[in-house]
Amino acid sequence: MTTKQYAPIYLDNSGGLVLAGLRDMDGAYVNGATVNCTQLRLEDGGSDVSGITLPLAMPYVAASQGKYRGIIPHDVVLEVGKRYTIRIVADTGTLIATFNHAVVARVRGST
């Protein structure tokens, strides 16, 4: 049985959202897609969070071989310990890829 891994998302912090190494079906890097975060919601069919306007654009990072980056605002409303799903959609114009990421809200410590 595989255990689901949750990346941290920190309360009261702007958070980088990255899709790295986007490739087409032939393995070539895709540098011209439209990439957006389309969902940030409580896991298991919960409600969308507030404090973020979706879709959130994730522009291509110049000379990065398929890397796209967006910023989750620091004032997005999350609850400590709650688990969320982030959905990212990449559209090349001919192909669409959807990525779901599991995150858990944490308070950033000083250590």
Residue 68 to residue 19: CA distance in whole angstroms: 5
Q: Is the dihedral of CA 46, 39, 103, 91 positive or negative?
A: positive
- Asked if 68 and 97 count as a contact pair (C-beta separation under 8 A), the reply is no
Domains of the chain: 7-106 (2.60.40.10)
Q: What is the mean pLDDT of the chain?
A: 94
Instruction: Give the pTM.
Output: 0.91
- Asked if 68 and 58 count as a contact pair (C-beta separation under 8 A), the reply is yes
Of 105, 17, 103, give the one whose Cα is nearest residue 55: 17
Instruction: Count other Cβ atoms within 10 Å, centred on residue 76.
Output: 19
Q: What angle do CA 55, 76, 42 make, to 5 degrees?
A: 75
Give the residue with greater pLDDT, 45 vs 21.
21
Q: What is the pLDDT of residues 60-102, one digit of tens each?
A: 999 999 999 999 999 999 999 999 999 999 999 999 999 999 9
Half-sphere exposure of residue 87: CA atoms within 13 angstroms, side-chain side: 15
Instruction: Count other Cβ atoms within 10 Å, centred on residue 78.
Output: 24
Residue 110 pLDDT class (50, 70, 90 cuts):
low
Model pLDDT, residue 111: 53
